[in-house]
Amino acid sequence: MSLQIPDCFYRVSVKALVVNSSNRFLLVREENGLWELPGGGLDFGEKPQEGLRRELMEEMALEIKSISDQPHYFFPAINPKGQYIVNAVYLTELYHLEFIPSAECQEIRFFSPDEVFEIKEWMYPNVLEFAKIYKMP
C-alpha cells in the first residue's frame, strides 16, 4: 500500500543557529560547494532537539551544549530538488568548533546576511531565505 502525501506536505528540517560575538551565524560548506545551515531532516517520531543533536553528530561530529526550547525562526523554502521544506531554526550552543569533515561538512564559517548575498550562487535557497529574516541586534 503506497502512502498518499497531501498537497500541503512539507519536509521538516531542524537547523542550528550558532552565532559568534559579532552576531554572524554559522554555515557549513557541503561537498558540492554549497553553504547550508547546520542540521537536517527530522525523522518521524523524533523530537526536534534530538534530531538536531543527531544531525550535528552525524555531519560534524560535534556535541551540542544547549538548544533553545522553541525555534527562533520557522520558515518555508524550496530545496534544489524542488521539494517543499520547512526550516525550524533553534538557537544552539556548541562546546567547540573542532569538527570532523564529512560530505555534508567540509568547512565551517560565520556569515552576516550581507556576506550571504555577496556569494548567493553558493548558498542553498533556505540560507538565502534565512538571511532575509535574520535580525541583527
Whole-model pTM: value is 0.91
Where in the chain are the domains?
11-133
94-131 pLDDT per residue, tens? 999 999 999 999 999 999 999 999 999 999 999 999 99
Separation in Å, CA 55 to CA 19, 30, 105: 18, 14, 11
Q: Is 5 exposed, middle or buried (0-12, 13-18, 19+ CB in 10 A)?
A: exposed
- Comparing CA positions, the residue from 44, 10, 25, 33 lying closest to residue 132 is 25
> Does an H or E element contain 96, and which?
none
pLDDT tens for each residue of 52-104: 999 999 999 999 999 999 999 999 998 888 888 999 999 999 999 999 999 99
List the one residue out of 57, 96, 133 whose CA is nearest residue 14.
57
- Residues pairing with 27 in the sheet: 109
CATH class, 11-133 region: alpha beta
**Integer angstrom CA distances of residue 64 from 52, 79, 112, 121:** 9, 26, 22, 30
Q: Please report where in the chains the cell 561538512 appears, as a residue.
A: 105
pLDDT confidence bin for 137, thresholds 50/70/90: low
Instruction: State the DSSP code for 134.
Output: P
Residue 17 to residue 26: CA distance in whole angstroms: 7
Number of residues in the chain: 137
